[in-house]
Structure 1
Amino acid sequence: MSLPPTYVEGFHDKKSVLQMEYTTLGKTGLKVSKLAFGAAPLGGAATYGEYLEEEAINTVREAIRKGINYIDTAPVYGQGRAEELLGKALAGVPREAYYISSKVSRYERLGSKELVKSEESIFSGFEQTLKNLGLDYVDIVIVHNVEYSPMEVVLNMFIPALAKLIKQNKARHLGLSAYPISPMCEIIEKSAIPIEVIISYSRDVIFDSSLQEYIPFFQSRGIGIINAAITGMGILTLEGPPAWHPATTELIAICKKAAEYAKEKGVELGNLSVGYSLQQPGAQTHLVGMNDRKILQKNLNTLKGLSEEEKNILREIKQIFFNSGQNFHWEEVKGKQEKYRKYLENVKTS
């Protein structure tokens, strides 16, 4: 086993880094850890609940020290709060020790919450992102939730603007994120500017394997694949999803029963979910939201693989609760995506 380019002697726990699996993210050349750090839980009460700031800062630093070298965030997470917290945490970390992505979307978050209407608003918003993070550049800049913008706006405004950020050395690689996967494929085919990375979320989990259908498409184009929200944005946990979660009441109820079943068997559905997704082929890295070291350590332990008992319980859960022969998702559920859209548009720092 070899050390990744992000290894920094004297900072990293070398033993942990050697135990981490790293894979090159498409054609970017970035050698990313199999387990990645999702910063959405750093957004505060409006996203996934409150947290202890000092503990969260220590969690970020400990994650990197133990070999997690990719972090993803977005300005919509707590209206910049997640980025600001990361900025505090990363101030004590060598810049070469990690890769980081943040996003640009149609949602302005500089106070007015107006829709992004121009390149200038994209650039000013991104400058605030860099200021929040305390960085000169991010490794990947991503068009966030492309399904909420008209295709022509993504192609003719967002992507060219992000390409300019890359030319200005404020970002290095360009990506897309979305819940429905097909719009990303269409944008990739139509864009005159190459897309290097995609983030797909809640689409390669216990109840939905939709991402697997698209992996050959992305691989054929050398696009890096990031699998995010592998607990389904909290729906596959005993605590359950946040109030804004766009899933149907039926799916939420099924997942709650599955979580209770897992608890009766002496395991956590969240751990099973993370373990399941980590073993699926195709994606180079898997984003898991974290804001304390207990969660971090659980995920690092799960990275080593599920026990035979856990695998058996996971098979039982899939058979009992998700064996309908179809994928469960909320892509075309009337009203549910609007609920999530309003959350994105109105979220406030608590």
Structure 2
Amino acid sequence: MTTTNQERLGKSGPSVFPIALGCMGMGAGSWYGAGDEAESIATIHEALERGVNILDTGDFYGMGKNELLVGKALQGRRDKALLSVKFGALRGPDGALLGHDTRPAATKNFLAHSLSRLGVDHIDIYRPARLDPHVPIEDTVGAIADMVKAGYVRYIGLSEVGAETIRRAAKVHPICDLQIEYALVSRSVEASIIPALRELGIAMTAYGVLSRGLLTGSKPSGKGDVRAHMPRFVAGNAERNQPLVDALARMAAEKGVSPAQLAIAWVRAKGAAQSVTIVPTMGARTRKQLADTLSSLDVSLDASEVAALEAAVPASEVAGTRYAEAMMATLDSEK
């Protein structure tokens, strides 16, 4: 592999491998359908052996089952991993999303249960999953800062918030990274969010780099695959997006790489071009997917290749928003 150099996760954060492992799709209760726990754990172990150190999860993934799986995988390997955990999303017994709660007391309560499920004494990067419209970001970050002082958290991150919220949060405590969707066909962050990250020395952990598999031609499959209800995959939009998928495949073939490798390489190249550390957070569910993902580090793009790719796969042509309309309306990052 040509690059395994670690990067700093923002000016205040830890040293990290240039790709993170997203664990949301692993194990029971996954939003992408049933997962194989043994293969998931083997994939986490392989990732850690290959130098990947950020493992990303959320306390509401699989109603807590995802944290239990990650905790199981980490036994005897805690020192190799940086645990990135999202909190604040509320779920009913039927799995329904009921909103968010990031009040200081709730924040500390969520943290206590995450530490218990993961079987660890601290979480490396703790972040609210979304902005709670009823709680000032200063209160939430202040509560996490208390937990940093107490030794239960090492670093503070944010997720899906806009430039103004990022600036307000950074005045309370150093923020190491923003987790947000960024892909060839999801580029709204470039207008004001990336400039704010650059100004404040905050990194990005980018998810949705393959637009949930859209860019690689993946289709929703099986019961429980939430993508079946996402705008870019629904009937009509899926057909309208096929030319973008085909264009990416064509350009990847010309370069002798896979569409996934090219899409990941684009995100990393954009980080360098915009002077912001961007760490793609890739949801590999199997060791094979992990190997394919890590091989993207061998792919580099120059400015002319980036421009050609953006012309061939223009974000303005994608049909459908990245989330359903009701969810988009709640995202601080889209305001």
Structure 1 length normalisation: TM-score? 0.75
1:330 partner amino acid: T
2:296 partner amino acid: T
Structure 1 match to 2:71: 87
Structure 2 match to 1:97: 80
Is 1:238 aligned to residue 217 of structure 2?
yes
Note closer, same or farther for the CA distance 1:136–1:22 as it changes in structure 2 (3 Å cut): same
Alignment of 1:1-350 (within 5 A): 19-42=3-26, 44=28, 46-93=30-77, 95-107=78-90, 116=101, 118-146=103-131, 149-150=132-133, 153-178=135-160, 183-191=161-169, 192-203=171-182, 205-213=183-191, 214-240=193-219, 242-247=227-232, 249=234, 252-260=238-246, 268-281=258-271, 282-305=276-299, 318-322=310-314, 324=316, 330=321, 334-335=325-326, 337=328
Offset of residue 218 of structure 1: 1.5
Cα distance between partner residues in 2 of 1:36 and 1:189: 25
Cα distance between partner residues in 2 of 1:195 and 1:244: 37
Matched positions, count:
311
Q: Is the 8 A contact 1:70 1:98 kept in 2?
A: yes
Cα distance between partner residues in 2 of 1:332 and 1:227: 16
Structure 2 match to 1:347: none
Cα distance between partner residues in 2 of 1:109 and 1:122: 18
Secondary structure at 2:159's aligned position in 1?
A: strand
Cα distance between partner residues in 2 of 1:184 and 1:39: 24
Secondary structure at 1:231's aligned position in 2?
A: coil
Cα distance between partner residues in 1 of 2:112 and 2:230: 30
Note closer, same or farther for the CA distance 1:321–1:225 as it changes in structure 2 (3 Å cut): closer
Secondary structure at 2:84's aligned position in 1?
A: strand
Give structure 1 stretches of 5+ with no counterpart.
1-15, 341-350
Q: Is the 8 A contact 1:278 1:303 kept in 2?
A: no
Q: Is the 8 A contact 1:42 1:81 kept in 2?
A: no
Secondary structure at 1:89's aligned position in 2?
A: helix
Note closer, same or farther for the CA distance 1:193–1:40 as it changes in structure 2 (3 Å cut): same
Note closer, same or farther for the CA distance 1:319–1:223 as it changes in structure 2 (3 Å cut): closer
Aligned residues: percent identity?
23
Cα distance between partner residues in 1 of 2:101 and 2:238: 33
Cα distance between partner residues in 2 of 1:33 and 1:109: 36
Structure 2 length normalisation: TM-score? 0.78
